[in-house]
Amino acid sequence: METANYLVLLTFLFLLATHRVVSRRRRHGKGGPPGPPLALPVLGHLHLLEKPLHHSLARLAARYGPVFSLRLGSRDAVVVSSADLARECFTEHDVTFANRPHFPTMALMTYGGKTIGNCAYGPHWRHLRRVATVHLLSARRVSSSMLPTITAELRAMVRRLHRAAAVAGGGVRIELRQRLFELSLSALMETIAQTKMWRGTAVVDDDDAATDMSPETQEFKESLDLLIQFFVAANTWDLLPMLRWLHVLGVKNKIAAAVATRDAFFQRLIERHRLKDDVGEGDKMSMLGVLLSLQKSEPDKYSDDIIMALCFSMFSAGTETTAGATEWAMSLLLNHPEVMKKAQAEIDASVGTSRLLDADDVPRLGYLQGIISETLRLYPVVPLLVPHESTVDCTLGGHHIPSGTMLLVNTYAIHRDPTVWADPTAFRPERFSAADAEGLLLMPFGMGRRRCPGETLALRMLGLVLGTLIQCFDWDTVGGAAGVDMAQGVGLTLPRAVPLEAMCKPRQVMLDVIRKL
């Protein structure tokens, strides 16, 4: 027995020593990037990482440089934390890093890796990208169909906030993220499937219509919430194959249940749309209508699974982008009321107080655009870009990067680099009106050929939503608190640690306009 134990110990020590030597050769054998020296068996460098991950990687970058290597469980990774290296990745090496790493657990949520954001680089991705840019998110469709729908849903939200404030006797306490998420979800439901999210609104268009969410939509929303939460965690589980053997302590069953609910909802939308007599024409046709018409001519390219994958990409990205970015913007404005007043003054001077601003007004509001840019700089939509993977060996920043290396780009660190941005942690929208802001890299939606195809829609929607909230209401902290806690939570899209609550009161100069909505 003692001999057996001795042999087991020797075997373990041999494997540990071999693992360390191989890891060191992988990193440095061909001039690879520097990195932490100790990579544990199985875990690699995962024990060095804390949440939020972008903060942890920024601290490692301060020690090992703007490009460094890590062993993340079963995968080799390289982390980029400078604007110059990010440009090099997505210009000179754009094709090399255009692929996505395959994560089995993530595949459960993305139709086997068929969504536009997670599929492998190749013919399928090119097909989805063309469908998105030409048929679903073209500039003409965004302007003629999507923005009017978003405007209508936004005005309905303004009416609800006004009524709630009137009942409360002036100002009302609201949880902003919940309202913003529901706004985005409602606009997407109408745009994608011409389906109303709120019960009662499909039958009557009255201020007194019921505004409770239908059970079907509530169930879908809960499944969407759950899947979005699992996006980041799934990557971590897949870095450690042993967790897959344990079925992640039952989490895979939760994912499977949420996926089943989501897919059943999408399938019902598809079947209902097939039965519709009037689905509109041209740009007035819903996204599902467009996809189903394409399915008739090319059924192999537009299966129901592909249609659902495109819908899921729209819902998951569209809801989180606007809700999260607007919540951070309002948090910053509550901590800087002088900026809020300046933005209101700009809107009053440019748009007036006799009507609500519309989508065409937003590009002319330079200070509002500065607020949006500064918010996305400080709190980028995705602080760590969706992981990329190299398909061939390349040289990055003078370092050898082997094929199959996972690339993590720390957008959060790049946007706060003190060598690039003056006073990088300060909220200063004015910096984007200055000539010296030209050429500075902002990449909240990614860069290169895998850049988010919905960026234009997201920015226009964000400007419209934020501008309307600023124009119509005065905002204050709850209980007159000195400021809003800006603590960050954990997630793919940089959530607040605690959802923002604020006091909302209609502006006197806009009351007549709001009452007529």
Q: What's the token pair of residue 487?
A: 């603590």
Helix (H, G, I), strand (E, B) or coil at 77: strand
Q: Which helix (H) or strand (E) holds 184?
A: helix 176-193
- The C-alpha atoms of residue 275 and residue 287 are separated, in whole angstroms, by 15
Distance CA 175, CA 231 (A): 24
Structural element, H or E, at residue 70: strand 67-72
CA distances from 87 to 93, 133, 398, 408 (A): 9, 23, 14, 13
Tell me 171's DSSP state.
Answer: -
Task: State the residue for tokens 């939503």.
Answer: 465
Torsion of CA 260, 265, 266, 271, to 10 degrees: 120
DSSP 189-230: HHHHH---SBTTTTT---TTS--SBPHHHHHHHHHHHHHHHH
The tokens describing 245, both together, are 């053997």
Other Cβ atoms less than 10 A from the Cβ of 274: the count is: 12
Cite the annotated binding site for heme by residue number.
452
Q: Decide if 273 contacts 289 (C-beta within 8 A).
A: yes
Which of 162, 218, 237, 235 is CA-nearest to residue 517? Answer: 162
Write the burial class of residue 452 (CB in 10 Å: 0-12 exposed, 13-18 middle, 19+ buried). buried
The answer to whether the beta carbons of residues 365 and 75 sit under 8 Å apart is: no
Binding residues: 452
Longest dimension (CA), the chain: 89
Token code pair at residue 65: 């440089």
Helices H, strands E: what count in the chain? Answer: 18, 9
Contact 454, 321 (CB under 8 A): yes
Among residues 410, 318, 327, 332, which one has the least CA distance to residue 374? Answer: 332
Alpha helices in 303-419 (DSSP H): 304-335, 337-350, 366-378, 411-415
Q: Are 33 and 69 in contact (CB under 8 A)?
A: yes
Identity at 202, one-letter amino acid code: A
